[in-house]
A = this chain, B = another copy of it.
Amino acid sequence: MTILPAVSDLAAYCLDVARRARAAARMLAITSAAQKDAWLYAAAKALIERNAEILAANEKDATAAIGAGLTAAQLDRLRLTPARLRGAANGLREIAALPDPVGQIRSSTVRPNGLEVHKVGAPLGVIFFIYESRPNVTVDAAGLCVKSGNAVILRGGREAFHSNAALHQILADCLADAGLPADAVQLVTTTDRAAVGHFLKLNEWIDLAIPRGGEGLIRRVAEEARMPVLKHYKGNCHVYVEKSADLEKAEAIVVNGKCQRPGVCNAVESLLVDAAVAPAFLPRIAAALRKRGVELRGCPITREYVPDAIAATEEDFAAEYLDLILSVKVVNNLDEAVAHINRYGSGHTDAIVTNDLTAARRFTAAVDSAAVMVNASTRFNDGGELGLGAEIGISTDKFHARGPCGLLELTSYKYVVYGEGQVRGE
């Protein structure tokens, strides 16, 4: 694989990229929504018009990947097609249609001394975005960062290098046309892995790091970064079937959460069933899941009702299978369910199926997770489904942003105070 261009002094290169990003961020902070949206629409158009050059670059990556022995799934993720490019272009148009979070007045008060205090959306500044494989993420990330007034430094996977370079070239050409700073979107032009380490030290120039990929990448970034990190660890999501639950809804929610897309972070990994409904529900859900090829791993009581379930271990209750496997436990009451979720869960998404309002309210208050669903599938924890628009990821942290992160979560705020000469007394 060609690695281009050669970078002689890596540290100096990274510093230069970060400094240029900071300068671009200063300009982006005072760029109008109209100008940013004009760029998004122009880039969407160019992705379609210039798709031949993107597909040719992607072909180079695919050829190299086959040689390097990537799996079929990895190859599929790497592949760009006209349909996927149309999807990326539509993503940019959707971002353009969202309100600009910069300058948005989030709250206002007038103080007794007449000062008008506004809390106003402001960009974070410079974002370092590190991702693996899927090259269309290049487009999504650039669109979200620029719309939220941030300059972005994109560091894609080595295997998608040519694809990312082609996509970046188009985005950059459109920046110039729209009068936006050229350095608003930069692509790291070395595949040297040490570059990531250099960038992660530049907390004076970079305000936020966002890793998107496998757990190894995320842990490395979280450990090395000197700036805040917006990150997503695993999703060990639960459904708790409370004793007043409508068992038909419960079945639909468990089946949907486990089977609709088992490999994603908001899929269900663990089922908790109230002892009062275990005799009625467990054989029924076991049959429904068995039909769909799901392996059950249960606690001793579960196995009384579902004899073919494998005995669950402690590891099972903590596991994110991302596969057609489900751990199952019978609990005596809601508080036991909550304690189990807060102990073994990952703070991602957990659901209760219930018809009891007190139970619903206690569960939603006590479960310490980014999203808590009442009578709905865990699969709805997603920026689009919750109404945030496009998302850059789902945060399992509580600080700054929790759950799906869209434009708002890519911004900070500032206080803008208007007075007429007020000074402070004793």
Contact = CB atoms under 8 A, between A and B. Distances in A.
A46 interface: no
Contacts of A29: 365-366, 368
A420 B416 CA distance: 43
A370 B414 contact: yes
Contacts of A418: 360, 374-376
Nearest to A377: B423
Contacts of A368: 26, 29, 122, 125, 414
Given A253-B421, A421-B249, A30 B366 contact: yes
A228 interface: yes
A417 interface: yes
Interface in A397-426: 397-400, 402-403, 412-424, 426
A370 B413 CA distance: 8
A244 to B, nearest CB: 14
A386 B372 contact: no
A415 B382 CA distance: 11
Given A366-B26, A376-B421, A377-B422, A402 B413 contact: yes
A169 interface: no
A90 interface: no
Contact of A372 (B115, B248, B414): B414
B422 A372 contact: no
Contacts of A122: 368, 398, 402
Interface string A234-267: 0000000000001011001101110010000000
Interface residues of A, number: 66
A391 to B, nearest CB: 12
Interface in A95-153: 103, 109, 111, 115, 117, 120, 122, 124-125
A207 B103 contact: no
A364 interface: yes
B26 A424 contact: no
Contact of A125 (B364, B380, B398, B412): B398
A377 B124 contact: no
B253 A423 contact: yes
Nearest to A257: B423
A371 B412 CA distance: 12
B103 A417 contact: no
Contact of A398 (B124, B399, B423): B124
B386 A424 contact: no
A399 B398 CA distance: 12
A266 B109 CA distance: 21
A373 B115 CA distance: 10
A267 to B, nearest CB: 10
Interface in A358-399: 360, 362, 364-366, 368-377, 379-381, 385-387, 397-399
B376 A115 contact: yes
A190 interface: no
Contact of A103 (B248, B365, B403): B365
B26 A364 contact: no
B423 A260 contact: yes
Which of A29, A109, A368 is packed against the most chain B CB atoms within 10 Å? Answer: A368
A58 to B, nearest CB: 25
A208 interface: yes
A414 B111 contact: no
6 contacts: A26-B368, A29-B368, A122-B368, A125-B398, A228-B399, A375-B419
Given A374-B419, A377-B423, A380-B417, 13 more contacts: A30-B366, A207-B398, A260-B424, A374-B416, A376-B422, A377-B419, A377-B424, A380-B419, A380-B424, A398-B412, A399-B399, A402-B412, A403-B415
Q: 6 closest Cβ contacts across the A-B interface?
A: A376-B419, A256-B423, A249-B421, A398-B412, A400-B400, A379-B424
